[in-house]
Amino acid sequence: MIRNDGWRRFNIWEHSQTVHDLYRRRCLREIEEMTAHAQAAELVGAHVVPGDILLDVGCGGGYLFHSFAARKIAVEYFGIDAAESLIAIGKETLPAFGLPADRLSVQRIEDTDGACDHVICVNVLSNIDNYHRPLERMLLMARKSVILRESLKDGAEYHYVTDQFLDGGLRLRVHVNHYDVADMIEFIRGYGFDVERLIDRRTGGMPEAVIGHNHYWTFLVATRRS
């Protein structure tokens, strides 16, 4: 029998109660802010004027909202994520902190269109098949800036590995890609942006193991040319 539920069935973020519990605690501000989110908010804040619209791509539960609120960065926050269960966590918890539930949407990047002032994408592109099409969508939407934190290094590597940390011993594969930093910067520049490469504060530029595989976290700050 042919079904249409393959996206959810094979999406690893729909199959980890540990991740769901962690994201809920982040949304409820029960645990400390992610260092990456602190750095990302500060980087975006340098380009924001009151009333600017920001889209958080791959937002999980939308807990990055707290990083802007804590710093009184006057940005209109919207978040999208392809995992329905993660968006549900944000819709349930974040209205109590001032974010309307309709600011969070279940969407894949490729299905998103429109315009905003800033786009932020943290730890997302490295775990999908390739970055070109989704990053293009972000660059076309952003009027002012795009902030990325991804696994970047000299020389690309593509891996499709088994996530061994899912519920009930479920074994699904996920992309763990490390993109060539020069290639990505050149790609972004081609859409009318200047690009600055910054060291990730959490890792200090050193590899970090996630689900047992090294990641080379790096920030790119892209600002649209006048």
Structural domain total, the chain: 1
Q: What is the pLDDT of residue 226?
A: 85
Handedness of CA 150, 156, 162, 165 (dihedral sign): negative
pLDDT along the chain (226 residues), means of 10: 91 95 98 97 95 98 98 97 97 98 96 96 97 97 98 97 92 96 98 98 96 96 96
Question: In this structure, are residues 58 and 144 in contact, taking their beta carbons and an 8 Å threshold?
Answer: no
Residue (of 91, 88, 127, 89) closest to 109 by Cα position: 127
Q: Give the whole-angstrom CA distance, residue 147 versus residue 76.
A: 16
Please, where are the H alpha helices in the chain?
6-9, 17-27, 35-45, 64-70, 84-93, 132-141, 181-189
Residue (of 103, 210, 191) closest to 220 by Cα position: 191
CATH number of the domain residue 109 falls in: 3.40.50.150
Q: Is residue 1 part of a domain?
A: no
- Per 3-state DSSP, the chain is made up of helix, strand and coil in percentages (nearest 5) of 35, 30, 35
Q: What is the pLDDT of residue 7?
A: 87
Q: What is the pLDDT of residue 39?
A: 98
Q: Give the whole-angstrom CA distance, residue 156 versus residue 183.
A: 9
Domain of 72? 6-224
Residue with tokens 């975006």: 44
Residue with tokens 């530029």: 205
Strand partners, 174: 161
